[in-house]
Amino acid sequence: MSQVFDKKLFQNRLSTRWLGRDFEYLKKVDSTNSYLKKIPAEELNHGFVVLADDQEKGRGQHQKDWVTKPGENLTFTLALKPDRAEGLTLLTLSCALAVANVLQNYSRRPFLLKWPNDIYVDHKKIGGVLTECSFLGPKPEKVLIGIGVNINQEEFNVGSVQQAVSLHQITGEKFKREEILANILNRIEQLYQSWVNREITVHKEISRALIGFGDWIRLSIDNEVIEGRYKFLGVNEKGELLVLNEKLELNTYSHEQIRIITGSESISKVR
């Protein structure tokens, strides 16, 4: 059932220094990312967060739509102004990791990251991240990190390639979205600081949470499966994929169209 977002409850749970202290709640918008894109960078504070109960044109990666029921999930965007452009992929993955870490407090099922930007549980997608940046020369002017997390929705359309799932569906419980949002922002602020400090724990933790980490996998680029099998070593400090080929040579990939094919999927894709 659709619930109006309780801003006071959210603010009481928030323990960040700067992330989400400047917060806007919208009942309805086209997309929280599109909304922030239209605001000039100089009018946006670092750490500003906008959340909408209903997105009429929610957007996902690769021009896909992000469609969820109003008032049942979390759909929000952070505006960040980091000093460097290097490692933005790692920053996106850090936000996905923060979501996975927080959801892990509500269920014992393992919440994992699917390269490049998804959060999965039980082979189903529970959340995703869409990062969009504008640059002033080499420096990012604003980095918009849009996050969608399925919380209380009871059913999703079947038949999409990535079957969606909500926290409610895997636990049988209903959750306060305000509490989960505050917990996610608390964790993102910690990980952001570690990212700024270039702490190696960031890419190590992300690597450990990635589906297929340590396994022999196959890779595809632009939907074409690449010859051979690769040992998946996770990501480096830039967020690039690290793999060993069958001759045990180290390869790195940053191409955003690259996909990791694991388990039974890897067998069916090469037939």
Residues of this chain that bind ligand BTN (CB under 6 A): 31-33, 55, 58-61, 64, 66, 75-77, 117-118, 128-130, 146-148
Indicate the SS3 state at residue 85.
Answer: coil
Q: State the minimum distance, in angstroms, from the CB of residue 126 to ligand BTN.
A: 10
Q: Among residues 32 and 101, whose Cβ is nearest to ligand BTN?
A: 32
Q: Among residues 147 and 261, whose Cβ is nearest to ligand BTN?
A: 147
Q: Among residues 60 and 140, whose Cβ is nearest to ligand BTN?
A: 60
d(CA 205, CA 212): 14
178: left (phi over 0), alpha (psi -120 to 50) or beta: alpha
d(CA 36, CA 31): 9
Backbone φ and ψ for 144, nearest 5 degrees, come out as: -105, 120
Q: Among residues 66 and 195, whose Cβ is nearest to ligand BTN?
A: 66
Residue whose beta carbon is closest to ligand BTN? 128
Q: Among residues 168 and 229, whose Cβ is nearest to ligand BTN?
A: 168
Q: State the minimum distance, in angstroms, from the CB of residue 114 to ligand BTN.
A: 9
Buried b (16+ CB within 10 A) or exposed e, 227-246: eebbbbbbbbeebbbbbeee
Q: State the minimum distance, in angstroms, from the CB of residue 184 to ligand BTN.
A: 12
Q: State the minimum distance, in angstroms, from the CB of residue 71 to ligand BTN.
A: 14
Q: Among residues 59 and 168, whose Cβ is nearest to ligand BTN?
A: 59
**Do 5 and 73 form a contact (C-beta atoms < 8 A)?**
no
Element (H, E) at 134: strand 124-136
Q: State the minimum distance, in angstroms, from the CB of residue 113 to ligand BTN.
A: 11
Q: State the minimum distance, in angstroms, from the CB of residue 52 to ligand BTN.
A: 8
Backbone φ and ψ for 242, nearest 5 degrees, come out as: -115, 125
Q: Among residues 75 and 207, whose Cβ is nearest to ligand BTN?
A: 75
Which residues are within 8 A (CB) of 214 and not within 5 positions of it... i.e. 6 or more apart?
231, 232, 233
Q: Among residues 147 and 209, whose Cβ is nearest to ligand BTN?
A: 147
d(CA 6, CA 270): 49
Q: State the minimum distance, in angstroms, from the CB of residue 144 to ligand BTN.
A: 8
Q: Which long-range contacts (CB under 8 A, 24 or more apart) does 244-252 make?
A: none
Q: State the minimum distance, in angstroms, from the CB of residue 134 to ligand BTN.
A: 16
Element (H, E) at 97: helix 88-103
Q: List the beta bridge partners of residue 143.
A: 80, 133
